[in-house]
Structure formats: structure tokens, C-alpha cells
Amino acid sequence: MTDPAAFSPAPALGGSSRTALRIGAGLARRRAAEKRFRAYGLTAIVLALSFLVLLLGTIFSNGYTAFSQTHLRLDIEFAQDAIDPEGKGDANALADGDYQALAKAALRKAFPEVKNRRAKRRLYKLVSGDAAYELQRMVLADPSLVGQTRTVWLTASDDIDMLRKGNVAVGLPESQRRIKDDELAWVAALDKQGAIERRFDTRFFTGGDSRDPEIAGVWGAVVGSFFTLAVTLILAFPLGVMAAVYLEEFAPSNRWTNLVEVNINNLAAVPSIVFGLLGLAVFLNFLHLPRSAPIVGGIVLALMTMPTVIIAARASLQAVPPSIREAALGIGASRLQTVTDHVLPLAMPGVLTGTIIGMARALGESAPLLMIGMVAFIVDIPKSPFDPATVLPVQVYLWADSPERAFLERTSAAIIVLLAFLIVMNLSAIILRKKLEKRW
Amino acid sequence: MNQHLDLKNFVAPPDVEIHQKSAARDASDVKMSARDLNVFYADKQALFDVALDIRSRQVTSLIGPSGCGKSTFIRCLNRMNDVIDICRVEGAITLDGADIYDPAIDPVQLRALVGMVFQKPNPFPKSIYENVAYGPRLHGLAKDREELDEIVTTSLEKAGLFDEVKDRLDEPGTGLSGGQQQRLCIARAIAVSPEVILMDEPCSALDPIATARIEELIDEIRENFAIVIVTHSMQQAARVSQRTAFFHLGTLVEVGDTAEIFTNPRDQRTQDYITGRFG
């Protein structure tokens, strides 16, 4: 304590007065505390960022391969007797043709040395089960193909796809592999001819779910999410804003409104699965709304989102200066006119921010939707909010639960689509908010 | 702000003579009058048996220390206190003889007749034009756009703002200077052609030059309205008003012609206040 300069590198102001010495002595400690605090903050941010990078990196490195799909080139003979043996030529007859046989025949022709029945069955599995439908679609689109031979690229099976993407451990003994040695040889032969290649997979973005990973698409879930969120927004936004406006601008403050307030805050903290149970009990069992439908999912998510919207809207209504209300009332605007003409437009950016947060949470929600049957396996792309559908997070959950190796990359790819959906949604809301702010 | 007025050497402004003449109007000029007015905020009484007349074509200033009830009184005159849940008003206030607290009276209609200018300039965050046009549009005072333009122009002219803003009516009203904003608020109040204009410390947020401009303006427009102004500046009360009412602790202590109040107060409390002993 004899020399305060030893404790603090700061130049001693005020000479050697008692106060100056005391302050000087404490200065080093204060500065160290501040430095420490900054270091903690920086560490926290670096840690958080590195985890985020790790997470996104894993998802992208696992998922980007799902955007391309392996295809095989085969010379398909559109044989009359397999497609339309009776020679009717109408669409119904063409649709009934045995297109599986065409693909099989082409494979047999490509590898004539395969005689063994088991080996043949493996050979047929080089192409996807969907190949027959691809051929059927070609013929239905152009019936003149019947009787001709064409070179066609068909979707390969998921096992071959995984092999080409390097996800099969070829070093293991044959008995432990799904892909046997002869299959490897066929693929190598096709590769030599240039008859095997990876192409951008549009079907992943345009198709519905499937049991076959190579043709499973995310579009059904995207449309389902869209319908669900549309219902949520249509219900939660106006109801939430109106509730907030009433509570903030019109309601007398008494015991009842206090009770309502407390309960709205409580509702915001209720676990989402509880809303799912409520939806099951009320909307499905009591009101008999359709099961697995976005309309019900949307209502349930709206119930879940509304407290968030109300709380955010009330906060931003409170932030509007009272002088604006007085100004409007002072020239004879009614209370409603004051709110609609002045207070609400000023509060809108804040209200929208709250709504974005609520909607983002609703987009990522799966638990309550499981309760109302949106976890079903649905192939068809929903056409309205009343059709059975699933949503993106539930699709991720379903695929993550599937045993096929190829679903792993689909899972990650679906997460990428989910994140993109979220970014698009938030971006449009932010642009909308900026526009509203500029009007003033 | 120097509130020490030397009573002995008080020299009335040259126009006080004229004011006094115009002040000596008969009782038929009473525009608004309050009788037995008691106002409560929850259990706390803010005004006690106030009786005060507001006359046409005159400026009535309300002075008194902070918390004496001037603002409460002025806000009773256009029922702005209605929005405060805990506020309760007893007694009678009439506008042209009609009770404004009659349940049949819509405060919206009242406030169109009794306009208000607030302490802090509070233009809407909209264009200058929209600020002034809002009131007339609200009450359907203009048949078409042309008529609305006319109202906006004359209101801005009356508020002495038109020449300064005529080229930028589309720009936000919040972009104006403080004094201009306050004149915009006055233009906004004038635009609905009220009969009474209430001003709650309209210059307290303004610099002396802007204040002088507003005071001039008040003097110019008083021929068409009954004006009530709450002020903390006794010089301002002396400059702009013809009648002055002194409030203290919720009671109306004294009311009379401005020159009379400032030169010859009857009540000791008034004298103490205007000589700067308290407040």
C-alpha cells in the first residue's frame, strides 16, 4: 500500500492526496474485472458461433448429396406385347402395361451373362422400383414410342446411389455388405460405358414422400408447412393484435383484465405438446375436423403462437408515445380512430417482429402436430388445408427414423429446405416491416 | 426563467389598455363556464369547487405552481380526462350553456369544438399536409380534395407557418423545428374550426424566439376563438392574456383582468406567487 503505482499502471492524478491514492489502488482491480468480463463475453460468442458453424457444416455436408441422384442409361425396347398386347392403343390399355418387364429385359440384354435367378433378381434391383412408372409416363406422353427402342436414363436404386456417393464400405467382406461383388462389377461395367451418372434431382423438390428414398421428395411437406402456417397466420395475427389492442387501449384495468393478462403470459410458457393434446381432444374428437389436416395443425399452432403475438403487440403498443394518442383524441378522433389511424401503424413494426418470432417457432414445431396425426405417411401433395399432409419438421423426424442409409442424406437435405423456408419467411417479413417503417 | 416580477415597478405592456377594454365585455360573451368543479384521481382530490368563466375572443391564462390543478382543469374542458380510468369529475362545465358532461354529449363532438395544443409539440409522424388535413377529414368538413386543400392552406396561414412549409407539404411534420412543430399543432387544431382552443404550456419546450412567435400567433388568432392557456411563465401570462386565473393546491384563488392580477392582487397567496416567494 506504500506505492499505489505498483498496483495501477495509471498515472496518478491528483498527486498523493488520500482520495487519489485510494482510487488509484482500486483502479487496477476495476480494470481487470472489466477485461475479464469482456473476455467472457467474447468466449461465449466464439463458442456459440463455432457450434453454429459445426451444426450447419454437418447438415450441409450430409445433405448436399441429396440434391443429385444417380441415373442409369439403358436401351429400352418398348415392346408391343409387354405394353399393350391386345393392341388397343388407348390410354387405359397403355397405362396397364407391364413396364417392369421392359426395364428387366433391358437389364438382361445389357448383362446377358447373368443366368442365375438370384443374381438376376439383384440385377433388376440396379434400377429403382420407380423406373417402371418413369417408362409408363414416357409412353403415356408419347404413345408412338410403342414398338420402338430408345436410350433412356432411369433412376438407379438407393443402394447404387449410395455406392456412387461413397457411402458404402466396399472394403468389408461380401457377406457383410448389402451390395454384392457382382453388383459392383455391373456398376463398374456401366461406368466404363458412361452409362451411369449423377444428375440434379428435381424430384426431391417437386415430389411427395415415398418408401423408396431415391424418389422421396420434400415438396409435400413444404406445401403442408405452407398451408399450416397460412392457417396459423390468418388466425393468430388478427386475433392476437385485436386482443392486444383491446387489452392495451380499451380494457379497464381491473381484477379481470389482470387475470387475463397473467394467463396470457402463462399460456406463452405452456409446453407445445399440451396444445397438441388440446387439439386432439377438441378439434378431432369433439368437432370432428379432418385428421392429419393442415387446418387443424394451423389452429393448434395458432393457439400456441397467439400469446407470443399478444405479448409482443402489447409491448409495442405501450412503446407508442402517449402524446400521439392525446394529439388524435384532442382533435376529436374516437378511441378506435386513434388506434387504427395512429397507434397501430406506429406499433406495426414491433407487432410484426413478434409475429415473425411466433411464426418461426410454429414452423419448427412438431410435437403438437404428432398428436393430431400429421405424422402419417402421406405421398400425395396436399391441394388444400383440408387434405392430409405433413410438415417439414415432421418429415425430418420421419426420415431420420427410417432405416435406409439413403434417408440420412434426405434428412439433412430436408433440414436445409426447412432452414431455407425459415429464411425466406423471415426475410419477407423483414422487408414488409422496413416498408411499413418507411411510410412515416 | 426569472419569475421575479417587481410589483412596485410593474409596467403594463402598452397593449394592456386595449386588452382591458376588450376584457370589459358583458357576461353574454361567456363561452365556457365551470361551476362547483371537483376532480378526483382515485381518492385524491385534485380540484376543489372551481368556478371559472372562459370568454370569447379573449385569452384566459391559468397560472400557479406545479401540481396546483391548472392542467387538470384545462383537460376537463374538453374531457381529455375521460381517458384516465381513475379520474372522476363532479360539478358542471357548460359550453354555450350546454352541459358538456351530459351523457348524451359525445366527447368526439366536444373535442371538435374545443381544440387542444399540448405542452410538447406532438405532430403525427405523417406529412405536414396530412397533419392538418387529419381533423377535417375525420369530421367530414371538406367535400372534396380542393376544399381540403383550402382548409389546410388557410389553417397553416393562420398559424403563420404556410410560407415556411408551402414547398414541402409532403415532408414529415416531425422533421420541422420545435417551434414550427408547435405551430403545426396549432394549425392542426384550427383546421377543424373549433370555438375554444386549450393550450397546455405550449411554449415550455421552446426557445425564446419560437416562444415569441407563438405568443404573437396567439394574439393574432384570439379574435376568432376563446383561448385558454396554461403557463408557468408569468411574463407570458402578462403578455398574451386578458384574464388570468391563479390556482393553488387545487383551488382557484383569484381570477381577474391580467393587469389587475399582476398589479393589484387581492389575495396574499397570489401576491406571494407572482413576486416569486414560492412556486
Question: Which has the higher per-residue pLDDT, B240 or B20?
Answer: B240
State how far residue A319 is from chain B, nearest Cα, in angstroms: 15
Contact between B233 and B216 under an 8 Å Cβ cutoff? The reply is no
Tell me which amino acid residue A430 is.
I
Count Cα atoms within 13 angstroms, Cβ side, for A206. 4
- pLDDT tens for A301-312 read 999 999 999 999
DSSP string across A222-245: HHHHHHHHHHHHHHHHHHHHHHHH
Whether B175 has its CB under 8 Å from any CB of chain A: the answer is no
Mean pLDDT taken over chain A: 88
Supply the pTM of this predicted model. 0.81
Which one of A12, A37, A63 terminates a domain? A63
| pLDDT classification of A99: cutoffs 50, 70, 90 | confident
- pLDDT tens for A163-197 read 888 888 888 888 888 888 888 888 888 888 888 88
Bridge partner residues of B227 (DSSP): B59, B197
Contact between A113 and A182 under an 8 Å Cβ cutoff? The reply is no
Say whether A332 and B172 touch across the interface (CB within 8 A): no
A292 and A198, same structural domain? Answer: no
Domains of chain B, first to last: 16-23+31-123+195-274 (3.40.50.300)
Q: Which of B76, B122, B170, B185 to mutate to test the interface with A (most CBs of A within 10 A)?
A: B122
Q: How far is CA A305 from CA A184, A214, A243, A314, B249, in A?
A: 53, 36, 13, 14, 50
What pLDDT, on the 0 to 100 scale, is given for residue A253? 81
Contact between B218 and B231 under an 8 Å Cβ cutoff? The reply is no
**Structural domains in chain A (count):** 3
Q: Within a domain: residue A211? A: no
Separation of alpha carbons A92 and A76, rounded Å: 21
A73 and A51, same structural domain? Answer: no
Select from A325, A331, A341 the Cβ nearest to the Cβ of B111.
Answer: A331
What is the residue range of A194's domain?
A: 66-202
Separation of alpha carbons A191 and A72, rounded Å: 9
- pLDDT tens for A5-61 read 444 455 556 677 888 888 888 888 899 999 999 999 999 999 999 999 999 999 999
C-alpha cell at A383: 391441394
Whether A230 has its CB under 8 Å from any CB of chain B: the answer is no
State how far residue A252 is from chain B, nearest Cα, in angstroms: 7
- pLDDT tens for A341-382 read 999 999 998 899 889 889 999 999 999 999 888 888 888 889
CATH number at residue A399: 1.10.3720.10
| pLDDT classification of A4: cutoffs 50, 70, 90 | very low
Average pLDDT over residues B191-197: 91
A262 and A396, same structural domain? Answer: yes
Sheet with B87-95, strands from edge to edge, namely: B44-55, B30-41, B87-95, B98-99
User: With contacts defined as CB-CB under 8 Å, which chain B residues touch A333?
Assistant: 108, 134, 138
Q: How far is CA A285 from CA A273, A282, A294, A391, B212, in A?
A: 17, 6, 16, 22, 74
Answer yes or no: is pLDDT of A1 > 80. Answer: no
Residues 266 through 325 of chain A touching chain B, CB cutoff 8 Å = 321, 323-325
- pLDDT tens for A316-325 read 999 999 899 9
Say whether A440 and B172 touch across the interface (CB within 8 A): yes
Separation of alpha carbons A55 and A53, rounded Å: 5
- pLDDT tens for A121-141 read 888 888 888 888 888 888 888
Q: Within a domain: residue A123? A: yes
Q: Within a domain: residue A225? A: yes
What pLDDT, on the 0 to 100 scale, is given for residue B12? 45
A291 and A273, same structural domain? Answer: yes
User: With contacts defined as CB-CB under 8 Å, which chain A residues touch B108?
Assistant: 332-334
Residue appearing with cell numbers 395512429? A342
Cα A192 vs. chain centroid, distance in angstroms?
39
Say whether B115 and A327 touch across the interface (CB within 8 A): no
A356 and A227, same structural domain? Answer: yes
Whether A436 has its CB under 8 Å from any CB of chain B: the answer is no
Kindly report the number of other CB atoms within 10 A of residue B251's CB atom: 16
Answer yes or no: is pLDDT of B157 > 60. Answer: yes
| Dihedral (CA of A122, A127, A129, A134) sign | negative
A145 and A112, same structural domain? Answer: yes
| pLDDT classification of B151: cutoffs 50, 70, 90 | very high
Q: Within a domain: residue A286? A: yes
A111 and A226, same structural domain? Answer: no
Mean pLDDT taken over chain B: 85
Separation of alpha carbons A31 and B275, rounded Å: 53
- 3-state secondary structure string across A165-205: CCCCCCCCCHHHCCCCHHHHHHHHHHHHHCCEEEEECHHHH
What pLDDT, on the 0 to 100 scale, is given for residue B39? 92
Chain A, nearest residue to B127 by Cα: A440
Q: Within a domain: residue A208? A: no
Length of chain A: 440
| Percent of chain B scoring above 90 in pLDDT | 42
| pLDDT classification of B279: cutoffs 50, 70, 90 | low
Residues 86 through 105 of chain B touching chain A, CB cutoff 8 Å = none
The complex's ipTM works out to 0.82
What pLDDT, on the 0 to 100 scale, is given for residue A438? 56
Where helices occur in chain B by DSSP H, the ranges are: 16-23, 70-77, 107-113, 128-139, 145-158, 162-165, 178-190, 208-221, 234-240, 258-263, 268-274
Average pLDDT over residues A70-97: 82
What pLDDT, on the 0 to 100 scale, is given for residue A12? 59
Which one of A177, A202, A227 terminates a domain? A202
User: With contacts defined as CB-CB under 8 Å, which chain A residues touch B189?
Assistant: 330-331
- Closest-CA residue to B256 (of B270, B276, B272, B273): B270
| Percent of chain B scoring above 70 in pLDDT | 90
| pLDDT classification of A259: cutoffs 50, 70, 90 | very high
A198 and A309, same structural domain? Answer: no
Select from B110, B117, B122 the Cβ nearest to the Cβ of A324.
Answer: B122
C-alpha cell at A438: 418507411
Select from B112, B120, B124 the Cβ nearest to the Cβ of A342.
Answer: B124
What pLDDT, on the 0 to 100 scale, is given for residue A229? 94
User: With contacts defined as CB-CB under 8 Å, which chain B residues touch A252?
Assistant: 85
Q: Which of B77, B80, B83, B85 to mutate to test the interface with A (most CBs of A within 10 A)?
A: B83
- pLDDT tens for B119-148 read 899 999 989 999 999 999 988 888 889 999
| Cα pseudo-dihedral A244, A248, A253, A254, rounded to 10 | 0
A237 and A126, same structural domain? Answer: no
Whether A376 has its CB under 8 Å from any CB of chain B: the answer is no
Whether B42 has its CB under 8 Å from any CB of chain A: the answer is no
What pLDDT, on the 0 to 100 scale, is given for residue A306? 94
| pLDDT classification of B8: cutoffs 50, 70, 90 | very low
A171 and A102, same structural domain? Answer: yes
Residue appearing with cell numbers 496518478? A12
Whether A15 has its CB under 8 Å from any CB of chain B: the answer is no
Q: Which of B114, B134, B137, B139 to mutate to test the interface with A (most CBs of A within 10 A)?
A: B134
